[in-house]
Structure 1
Amino acid sequence: MSEIEIVWGTGEGQTELSAFDQALHSGGIHNYNLVTLSSVIPKDADLQIVGTHQQEWDVGELVAVILAENGSLAQGETIVAGLGWAEAEEGGIFFEGSGENRKNVEKRITRGIETAKSTRDSWNWDETIQTKVVEHTVETAGAVIVSAVHRPV
């Protein structure tokens, strides 16, 4: 069984890239080499909403992620990133979203999941759609991330 952690973070820096690194740090995934995956959840995966990953893997290790991110240099701007997911007996799907308004990001994620579910209409879907959406108000350079993190076995 594959364990997948849902983590998130916000960050500030002098540049968007340094803010992004701080957001990864806040989520506990800043010391890995992140490999972005498409959004399919393996069958029998164990999803855990943890907030911050506890650095249990080696520095520089390749770690698989589904990553929603947003960044900005506009002081006072609110930035939002979110991740949603739905599960079925056959597996599941994630959907990422970002923007400047929580409600719009949540709607975009839900629509994306519903579309992905209809593409897989023969699957036995749980009716529940779960989401984690995070906001951040930019001070200098800001970033926000929400990620599903796992190390394939």
Structure 2
Amino acid sequence: MEIHVAAGTARGRTELAAYDAALADANLHNYNLVTVSSVVPAGASVRVVDEAPPLGPPGNRLTVVQARADATPADAHETERAVAGLGWATGPGPGLFYEATGADADVVRRTVEEGLADGRALREWEFTDEETLVAETDTSADAYTAAVVVAAYGESEPVA
């Protein structure tokens, strides 16, 4: 199985519209996303892409791990950035994802790295590779903003 990791950012008139547009920026807006916690199946490869390739027909169910940061127009007075980060540690067997959100890219990246370190310490798996992808956008006083990083597991499947 190939897991595609893509990031997106956007603005919208509502929080959900901004999130949908950020998913569109990553080409993952036409699926019913089913979020799972954090384990990379053994044998899966994780690959960063500018945008996800077509993963099946619109409306299908797609398994994902996602980091999602939202900011309201009012937040723009308190914070300048919406930041989402997703990291993964993999090896010859299973691996881990860890997600974090916030307003500072360095803090989000550090939180992801610390979470992965703690997750690795809980398991007796071999980890040989680690990577992090961060998406960030300026907040706006006149629009909702969203940043997402999504790991899409393989192809989508019919909902019913």
- Asked whether the two chains share a fold, i.e. TM above 0.5, the reply is yes
Q: Distance in 2 between matches of 1:123 and 1:66?
A: 20
1:51 Cα deviation from its structure 2 partner: 2.1
Structure 1 residue ranges without an equivalent (≥5): none
Q: 2:153 aligns with which of 131, 150, 153?
A: 150
Aligned equivalent of 1:125: 127
Aligned equivalent of 1:66: 65
1:8 Cα deviation from its structure 2 partner: 0.7
Q: Distance in 1 between matches of 2:47 and 2:56?
A: 17
Give the residue type in structure 1 aligned to 2:100.
Answer: G
Alignment deviations for residues 25-50 of structure 1 (CA, whole Å, 9 cap, x no partner): 00000000000011100111121111
Note the 1:66-145 alignment, pairs <5 A.
66-73=65-72, 74-75=75-76, 77-120=80-123, 122-126=124-128, 128-139=129-140, 140-145=143-148
Is structure 2 residue 37 aligned with structure 1 residue 38? yes
How many residue pairs are counted as aligned between the two chains? Answer: 150
Give the residue type in structure 1 aligned to 2:26.
Answer: G
Percent of counterpart pairs with the same letter? 33
Structure 1 runs of 4+ aligned residues shifted over 6 Å read none
Give the residue type in structure 2 aligned to 1:24.
Answer: L
> What do you get for the CA RMSD once the two structures are aligned?
1.4
1:67 Cα deviation from its structure 2 partner: 0.5
Q: Which moved more, 1:67-76 or 1:24-33?
A: 67-76
Q: Distance in 1 between matches of 2:8 and 2:37?
A: 21
Relative to the length of structure 2, the TM-score reads: 0.89
Aligned partners of 1:75 and 1:141 also within 8 Å: no
Relative to the length of structure 1, the TM-score reads: 0.93
